[in-house]
Amino acid sequence: MPPIFPETVLRTDRLLLRPFTAADVEETRAACSDELTQQWLPLPRPYTTEDAAAWCTGVSHHLRTSGDGIHFAVADTDSGRLLGTVGLKKTDWPARVSEVGYWAAPWARGRGVMPEATRTVGAWLLGGQGFQRLQLFAATGNTASQRVAEKAGFQKEGVLRNAGYVHSGRVDLLVFSLVPDDLAGN
């Protein structure tokens, strides 16, 4: 049995990072059907209620129990409304390295939600979980995702040519990283 992350809930003053539930299905469907989300993520097209239900009640939980990573629904602490997701994937347990990915619901964009959520997960992973590196990949054309990485404290390392794919075809990816030394003093 591979190692797995413990079931975890993380909090900031305004965000609650928690497991997905069936109550998130409709907002997940709406967010993942958004044109901008679809532009940068190779999600099913169209993104149906069935796709959202499978993610919220099955796939996101299986990714944790399989050892791949852990995925959080990012919710507003006051209203409980789903604002997006942030999750770890492709976890290399022996090397203590994981990759972070995220999307923001259209109604949450431009409010600093994703940098805050991504930084929170990074601090949890590199702090309490003892990991040594968190990687983040963003398409060279996805400037919003690059801004999230930079605002969350990640360092840009370089370009991986032709390394990603989206609905329109192959894309170059910028690679960013966060390591324990980046968190020192914060």
pLDDT in tens, the chain (186 residues): 789 999 999 999 999 999 999 999 999 999 999 999 999 999 999 999 999 999 999 999 999 999 999 999 999 999 999 999 999 999 999 999 999 999 999 999 999 999 999 999 999 999 999 999 999 999 999 999 999 999 999 999 999 999 999 999 999 999 999 999 999 865
Which one of 3.30.420.40, 3.20.20.60, 3.40.630.30, 1.10.260.40 gives the CATH number of domain 10-180? 3.40.630.30
Q: What is the distance between the alpha carbons of residues 126 and 123, in angstroms, rounded to a whole number?
A: 5
Supply the angle between the helices 143-151 and 113-126 in degrees, to the nearest 10: 50
Q: What is the distance between the alpha carbons of residues 80 and 78, in angstroms, rounded to a whole number?
A: 6
pLDDT tens digits along 55-102: 999 999 999 999 999 999 999 999 999 999 999 999 999 999 999 999
Q: What are the residue ranges spanned by the domains of the chain?
A: 10-180
* Helices and strands in the chain, H and E counts: 7, 8
H/E run at residue 27: helix 25-33
- Burial (Cβ within 10 Å: 0-12, 13-18, ≥19) of residue 54: middle
pTM of the model: 0.95
